[in-house]
Structure 1
Amino acid sequence: MIGYQAENHLFTLHTRSSSYQFMVDPSGYLLHTYYGPRVGGGSFAYRLRQADRGFSPNPNSEGHTRTFSLDTQPQEYPSSGVGDFRIPVLEVENADGSRAADLRYQSHVIRPGKYALPGLPAFFAKEEDAQTLEITLEDPVTGLRAVLYYGVIESRDMITRAVRIENAGDKPVALTRVMSLCLDLHQGDLDLITFDGRHTGERHPHRRRLAPGIQMVSSTRGATSHQHNNFIMFCAPDAGETHGWCLGAALVYSGNFEAAVERTQFDTARMTLGISPWQFRFTLAPGETFTAPEAVMIFSREGFSGMTHQFHRAIRDNLCRGEWAHRRRPVLLNTWEAAYFDFDSEKLLEIARCAAETGVELLVMDDGWFGTRNDDRGGLGDWFVNEQKLPGGLAPLVHAVNELGLDFGLWIEPEMVSEDSRLFAEHPNWALRIPGRPATRGRSQLVLDFSRTEVWQYVYAQIKKVLSSANITYVKWDMNRSLTDVLSAALPAERQGEVYHRFVLGVYAMLEQFRKDFPHILLEGCCGGGGRFDCGMLYYTPQIWASDNTDAMDRLLIQYGTSFCYPVSVVGSHVSAVPNEQTGRVTGLDTRAAVAMAGTFGYELDPRSLSVAERQQMRLEIDRFRHLYDLIQYGDYDRLTDPFAPGPFTAWQQTAPDGSAALVTVVTGMARSNDAFATVYPRNLLPDALYSVNGADAVRGDVLMYGGIPLPHVGGDYRAMQFELTRQG
């Protein structure tokens, strides 16, 4: 998978269907030569061309030769201050105040297996399924080193990147920009696709042609954000779902990030991805190191779907860990919209009894069970049971719920604190605050300084005691505000630029401890819905609440964008009450269920308010989801339509990897009088196999793909249809 040709200092990384190549030039610079469809061999170094370009300076190692400039060459890990004026990957502040770093090749090693990163999430693979390339670069003046990590997971078409910066000199150095990935593409006429939005409207895809200059998406909120996701795509201008080349890149990180692309003066493109340099400054004393998070890439020449299938498989099999990575998830009912803060044991048991009758398997008690938490202005940080609501603590309630045949879960928000809490009264300096400035609040709460080990360990000890007191099988970990007033009382002034990153490391440390102590608990991530939906969190939480917006028609848009990178099995999606809390829209229970089945599936309503017929329908939906579980959760996902484009319906498909079955789901828009006939066209069926559609007579796969499935006129707005295709014989 990883080859090295010593005679021309050429590295070639092969996946199942792609190749990635770069070389060491005579001066020790790493120059990128190729990333694209897999090739059988040979060097692409002939693509490296040189010319005397005005205002593009030349390294001292070139003497008076003017044809070689770092400003014009495709590089693997470019730094600033030494002649490359494009987006840099590494920026430093040396002890003498200079800001230059000149990294040259020193050595490399190729070894079996996939590297891991201390304290950080990363994709993994069995030793026989992956290889690692480590390349050491060094600045000959300052002694600063960069160890570049390349991982190849061949069967997933995945190439991973990470970097460790080492101060091997005798003076301190400050890192002000450390990107994880640089990709210099030899052409600039490309499309960039980013996934953007807002709270309750996350991950909407936006596609635009690269224009001269820099285009960027980023987060400075302390989390990935609802506004921009840290997964992006490049593609040929004519690429689509089933044709053309594209590549996706994702950062395995859950804090501030930056994804930037520059279309250069010579019509090439440079993409960088990593921690946002905004308010970032990390000081390394001699001998200290800094490890940047992992970035991953997948290339496809089979359009967006080919890339999507590989990301989905890699996330399910090479990122999500523990017994819940592939264990069947329970159908849950969350009590938030049923009770909000107003509940006690008896009300919860009433809800549980009704839920049990419908086939729900897990009752989740949301916000309001701890401290003096009766609204969103107090109690956060006091992780002990409110026995006025729950007499005797959790154990009696959980036992009673278990007796009804349901598991029990609860909601926590460990990173936050209310000013009206015991924790804040005892430790006011544990919150992120700037002395002398009034606090900035979000949802009436402050952020705890998880960059301090003693803070997250104190919070974790409280939560651990609660989780150990009863049979808890599920936890929803929430985060309901962005970071502001970012100053840690534990760090000196010159090191405050480290707080954002150290905060993320603290969150990861607590999550890892949680996993070790409670491996049997299903942990779901949440950040006001989809504000921290990224590969970093999925290393610890095998599912994430996709959005606080549960309106079925809005979810079509959110889940469409989410699907480009993230598989159905990690997308928290529920059926909620109507009129919908966010939009006021009314949709049928069957439509809400069909949309939620493109996720982990559950309910966010009060079953006591449903009619007998609705409860019966709810049971049928749950039974159907169980019947289709493996196909929905682990089938190859295809987007059959674009819900952002005009059209009478939205459709998607899940197909068993062996082609034995498929599920096509269709959701119509607003009804039109005397409308045209509509047809949905499945994909990726076995052409010569016979398929029964919802039990009807069998039809050849190629006939279904090219002739389509006629859609009946169902009447009314926002109607759902599901077509189960089963191979015969």
Structure 2
Amino acid sequence: MISYDGTDHLFQFTTCGMSYCFALKEGFPLHLYWGTAIKNYKGSRSVIPGPRSFAPYADPKKRYFSPDTLPFEYPGYGTGDFRNPAYQIQLKNGSTVTDLHYESHRIYKGKKRLKGLPATYVMDDQEADSLDLTLVDTITDLRVVLTYTLFRDYPVITRSACFENHGCQPLRILRAFSMALDFSDDRFDLINFYGNHNNERQFARHPLSMVRTVIDSARGASSPQHDPFFILARPGTDEKSGSAYGFSLVYSGNFSAQIEVDQYHTTRATLGINPFDFSWKLDPGSSFQTPEVVMAYSSKGLGSLSQTYHQLYRERLARGQFRDRLRPILINNWEATYFKLSEEKLLAIARVAARVGIELFVLDDGWFGHRDNDRSSLGDWIVDRRKLPHGLDWLSQQVHQLGLGFGLWFEPEMVSPDSTLYRTHPDWCLHVPGRTRSLVRNQLVLDLSRADVRNYLFQALCNVLSNANINYIKWDMNRHMTEIGSALLPADRQRETAHRYMLGLYELLEKLTTTYPEVLFESCSSGGGRFDPGMLYYMPQTWTSDNTDAVCRLKIQYGTSFIYPAIAMGAHVSASPNHQVGRVTSLAIRGHVAMSGNFGYELDLAELSEDEEKIIRRQIAFYKQIRPIVQFGRFYRIENPFTGNTAAWCFVNSTRTEAIGFFFIVLTDPSRTMHCFQFRGLDPNALYKNIATGDVFGGDELMYSGLTVPDVKGDFRSFVWRIQKISK
């Protein structure tokens, strides 16, 4: 619940073992506490230090009350706080000094929708309490409404800010982070997730130091380089114990996370839209809404923090018919055919897919325009009759007759210079007059800030979806933004283009997913280049990485698991040698790694040997047995592939009656080290049977003593245990 003590001007949030507190002092909301639940916070620790030399102050009688030392909930710029500000406003006279003070507040049940933006939600108003805290700058009559939501069933607070110009002159927003938080010390490790194409969400951890650390993207997408998520963990915090604070931005465009340790060893964390190359003209009577930040707390280690995000994003971020459904096992034809596809080849793959138990056939790139390579046809969403002479409807019917669903790849946000669309509308792409239009993968980015572009795309996709029986769409985005400009925006609004693009994309996705609720959408951006909560709001699963090598995927999926649930992670078995890195691995390890996510295949099924087909049939049958646990169970990380030669994790269902454990050894250890696998999350007082062997062990023994990993020679080995609770 959220409570307000009018005597001490104290706001206290308490839920699920967590409390968050701030108070109004001299009209400023100042942060007091965030951590393990406190029944009734009474201000035991002062947040206002004594006077500091050279610290600015407004009142000579209150020199101790300096903006440079106060723990603000939403700090500004120009009045004495030299740390990183949460917002910055430029006035008509060119100055950038504003001073927000408390005006009013409102506490209410439920959670508001954010206009034009994805966000977490509630199904019933009783699931959450919210606070709107209104701050005002009296000179400009700028009002900023800070919105906090406290979830009843999760140790989570969401935050966002809405800027409202109630004055008579235009203002310009130069910076508008969604949240800021001041901790009273700097005893933290920063955990973040970096990478590149084919190497997304690599794990990094290091102690904070006396610098400002910036984690960001200015690429027009959340990017594979950095995820819009970070953790501040107390030193020594591990998977099972210690305090950890998570910060996740529900946004798919340019973002910035900034963590600053100041001269007094306090820590300020901010997260929101990247202020680089951004501004927003705020006319009188208009408003600007920032994206939502989801802040989660755990007193029980990193594993518990991840489980909070998994459950919240699975149940109160993802939406639609597929939110609570088991996801289908699919076959994607891309690595089997690339652009050289034909009806005969596709149906040959589909027939084997049906025979081995696959549930969904996905036709990837190359089916439209005259796309024989990546140099043409994006934007021309018309079937290529040379390759598919009978059309998509006929092909989808053939696939459905085999008992499979039918899926299709699109890259709607892009246009090829060699396309009818570009020749007809060369101004529809992002561009700056007089500047070269840079190409990436021989393509340009359509300007989704324009309504005419969005209307064209909606109609073009509807023409395809309404004329064939399509069950699934893979929505790709294979380049980042350059020459970010819009032909329709005036000069003083050009720096709004990147954010207006995201608002346009969200509007298009809202319209499409509402019009076709029976279609399962999967997000992709050269793999996991736009794997973020904003996309999960519209598309409940994402292609995790173009790199399908099992060994590389151990790290990629391990890093991804810190915030995103397994049901959201597309994971496929591909050919060996692997097409991305050339590594040769067994079908066993490829299968076990892919089973740890949203399972599928991406290879030429029609070229399988008899033995390979039998193995794949067994893998699919096994995954169907464990799929409910993997997709909806609780996930535990056990061995970290970033720190050793092994990786391990397990999934446990909600009733703790069934679990599946995976253990991986990358390279042979010549010392023949004996490995042990220890389950987590079981009922210590229950008995569990190993389904494969019939052996029975106590839950306590399986967790604290563990199972011996078989001593088998060779690189790239994997082992799996499935256990079920039995009555005594």
TM-score by length of 2: 0.99
Separation in structure 1 between the aligned mates of residue 325 and residue 362 of structure 2, nearest angstrom: 19
Give, as a single letter, the amino acid of the residue that structure 2 aligns with 1:613.
D
Deviation at 1:674, TM superposition (A): 5.2
Query: Is residue 2:79 matched to residue 1:73?
Result: no
Deviation at 1:63, TM superposition (A): 4.6
The answer (yes or no) to whether the contact 2:48–2:64 under 8 Å persists in 1 is no
Separation in structure 1 between the aligned mates of residue 352 and residue 482 of structure 2, nearest angstrom: 42
Give, as a single letter, the amino acid of the residue that structure 2 aligns with 1:33.
L
Pick the aligned partner of 1:713 from 700, 711, 714. Answer: 711
Give, as a single letter, the amino acid of the residue that structure 2 aligns with 1:14.
T
Deviation at 1:351, TM superposition (A): 1.2
3-state DSSP of counterpart to 2:153: helix
Separation in structure 1 between the aligned mates of residue 580 and residue 615 of structure 2, nearest angstrom: 24
Deviation at 1:703, TM superposition (A): 1.3
The answer (yes or no) to whether the contact 2:326–2:631 under 8 Å persists in 1 is no
Query: Is residue 2:657 matched to residue 1:653?
Result: no
Cα RMSD over matched residues?
A: 1.0
3-state DSSP of counterpart to 2:713: coil
Deviation at 1:54, TM superposition (A): 2.1
> Which residue in the other structure is 2:288 paired with?
290
> Which residue in the other structure is 1:88 paired with?
85
Pick the aligned partner of 2:689 from 674, 687, 692. Answer: 692
**Mapping of residues 320-719 of structure 1, within 5 Å:** 320-647=318-645, 649-673=646-670, 675-694=672-691, 695-719=693-717
3-state DSSP of counterpart to 2:224: coil
> Which residue in the other structure is 1:19 paired with?
19
3-state DSSP of counterpart to 1:561: helix
Separation in structure 2 between the aligned mates of residue 663 and residue 453 of structure 1, nearest angstrom: 48
Deviation at 1:704, TM superposition (A): 1.4
CA offsets 1:4-27 (integer angstroms, 9 cap, x no match)? 0111111001121100000111x2
> Which residue in the other structure is 1:6 paired with?
6
**Mapping of residues 210-229 of structure 1, within 5 Å:** 210-229=208-227
Deviation at 1:388, TM superposition (A): 1.6
Task: Indicate the larger mover: 710-719 or 600-609.
Answer: 710-719
Separation in structure 2 between the aligned mates of residue 46 and residue 360 of structure 1, nearest angstrom: 60
CA offsets 1:619-677 (integer angstroms, 9 cap, x no match)? 11111111111111111111101101123x21101011221111110111112345022
The answer (yes or no) to whether the contact 1:165–1:291 under 8 Å persists in 2 is yes
Deviation at 1:56, TM superposition (A): 1.6
Separation in structure 1 between the aligned mates of residue 140 and residue 721 of structure 2, nearest angstrom: 65
Deviation at 1:66, TM superposition (A): 1.2
Separation in structure 2 between the aligned mates of residue 56 and residue 415 of structure 1, nearest angstrom: 50
The answer (yes or no) to whether the contact 2:12–2:41 under 8 Å persists in 1 is no
CA offsets 1:507-552 (integer angstroms, 9 cap, x no match)? 1111101111100000000010111011111000000000110000
Give, as a single letter, the amino acid of the residue that structure 1 aligns with 2:50.
A
> Which residue in the other structure is 2:309 paired with?
311
**Mapping of residues 5-404 of structure 1, within 5 Å:** 5-25=5-25, 27-44=26-43, 46-59=45-58, 62-125=59-122, 126-404=124-402
3-state DSSP of counterpart to 1:601: strand
Task: Indicate the larger mover: 545-554 or 654-663.
Answer: 654-663
Separation in structure 2 between the aligned mates of residue 279 and residue 676 of structure 1, nearest angstrom: 53
The answer (yes or no) to whether the contact 1:262–1:271 under 8 Å persists in 2 is yes
The answer (yes or no) to whether the contact 1:668–1:717 under 8 Å persists in 2 is yes
3-state DSSP of counterpart to 1:411: strand
Deviation at 1:697, TM superposition (A): 2.5
Deviation at 1:82, TM superposition (A): 1.3
Separation in structure 2 between the aligned mates of residue 640 and residue 385 of structure 1, nearest angstrom: 47
CA offsets 1:409-432 (integer angstroms, 9 cap, x no match)? 000001100000010001000011
3-state DSSP of counterpart to 1:500: helix
The answer (yes or no) to whether the contact 2:76–2:88 under 8 Å persists in 1 is yes
Q: Percent identity?
A: 44
Give, as a single letter, the amino acid of the residue that structure 1 aligns with 2:117.
L
TM-score by length of 1: 0.98
Separation in structure 2 between the aligned mates of residue 383 and residue 329 of structure 1, nearest angstrom: 27
The answer (yes or no) to whether the contact 1:23–1:45 under 8 Å persists in 2 is no
Deviation at 1:90, TM superposition (A): 0.5
Deviation at 1:43, TM superposition (A): 2.1
List gaps (5 residues or longer) in structure 2: none
Give, as a single letter, the amino acid of the residue that structure 1 aligns with 2:178.
S
Separation in structure 1 between the aligned mates of residue 438 and residue 66 of structure 2, nearest angstrom: 48
Deviation at 1:49, TM superposition (A): 2.5
Give, as a single letter, the amino acid of the residue that structure 1 aligns with 2:113.
A
List gaps (5 residues or longer) in structure 1: none
Separation in structure 2 between the aligned mates of residue 446 and residue 543 of structure 1, nearest angstrom: 25
3-state DSSP of counterpart to 2:62: coil
3-state DSSP of counterpart to 1:713: coil
The answer (yes or no) to whether the contact 1:217–1:228 under 8 Å persists in 2 is yes
The answer (yes or no) to whether the contact 1:450–1:506 under 8 Å persists in 2 is yes
Separation in structure 2 between the aligned mates of residue 480 and residue 508 of structure 1, nearest angstrom: 18
Separation in structure 1 between the aligned mates of residue 667 and residue 44 of structure 2, nearest angstrom: 56
The answer (yes or no) to whether the contact 1:654–1:663 under 8 Å persists in 2 is yes
